Amino acid sequence: MVARMRGAVYIGILAGMKRRFVTKSLKLVIFDCDGTLVDSQHLILTAMTRAYRAHGIPLPERETLLSVVGLSLVEAFTALGNGAAGFPVAGLAEQYRLAFHALRQGGAEVEPLYPGAAAAVRTLALREGVVLGIATGKSQRGVRHVLGHHGLLDHFSTIKTADDAPSKPDPGMVLHAMRDAGVGPSETIVVGDTIYDIAMARAAGATGLGVTWGYHRAAALSESGAFAVIGEFGSLVPTLDKIWTR
C-alpha cells in the first residue's frame, strides 16, 4: 500500500511538472505492453502449455492462445474455455502464474522489445506536453520488471494493470490513467495490438491506435474501431502528430 501511495505521488509530481512548464494542454499516450512494446509470445505460450499440461487438457492452437493476450488471466481462460461446463478457469490461471514465475526464477530471457519501441518511447517522453502511460493485463510487478530491464520505466508517468482495474476491454485502466495525468478523453490515445485495447479506448472516450506487429490482425483492429492502424514503430510518432493536429 505504501509503495502504491508513493507511486501515485510520483505520478502526480511528473504530470504536475509537465503541466507547469507547458503552455498548451497535456496529451496522454497509453501503451499496451505484451504484443505492443514487448514480444512476450514465447513466455506466454510456454506458461500456457504448462498450465494446460498440469490439468491434462489438450492445448489449443497457437493462434487461439495468442488471441486472448491482453485480457487478464481469468478472462483469458474463460474465453479459451468457450463456455465448456467444468472448465477449470481458476486452476488454469493459478497454474499459469506458477509457471510464469518459475520461468522468471529459472532465468528465462526477459521479453524483448519490438524494433523501434525504445526509440519511440524516448522520443515521445521528450516531447513538450506529452505524458506516457501503460495499460496492461500484466501485474504491476511484471510490467515494472520488464520496463525496468529495458531502461524505460522512468518514462511512464502512470502504469495501470490487472492489479488496479478490471480486465480489458473495461475502460477502468484508461480512466484511472487519465485521472492520474489530469487529462481528458479527447487528449488521450491508446496504442495497442488487440481489439481489447481498441474497445477499452473507445469505452473510455479515447482514441484507439492499432499496431499490427502483435497478436491481432489489421482487419480486426480496423473493424473494432481503431482510428488508424500502423505496421511499424517508425510510423507511430508521425501518426500521433496527425491525430493531434486533426
Active site members: 32
User: What residues have CB less than 8 Å from 81, skipping those under 6 apart?
Assistant: 87, 89
Q: Of 56, 59, 103, 100, whose CA–CA distance to 77 is shortest?
A: 59
Instruction: Please report, for residues 65, 114, 143, the alpha-carbon distance to residue 43 in angstroms, rounded to integers and kept in the order given.
Output: 12, 15, 14
Helix residue ranges, H only, 71-116: 73-81, 89-105
Grid coordinates in use for 178? 487519465
Measured between alpha carbons, how far is 155 from 191 in angstroms, rounded to an integer? 16
Phi (first) and psi of residue 211, to 5 degrees: -125, 145
Cis peptide before 112 (omega within 30 of 0): no
Q: Of 36, 32, 39, 62, whose CA–CA distance to 110 is shortest?
A: 39
72, 167 in Cβ contact below 8 A?
yes
Measured between alpha carbons, how far is 133 from 138 in angstroms, rounded to an integer? 14
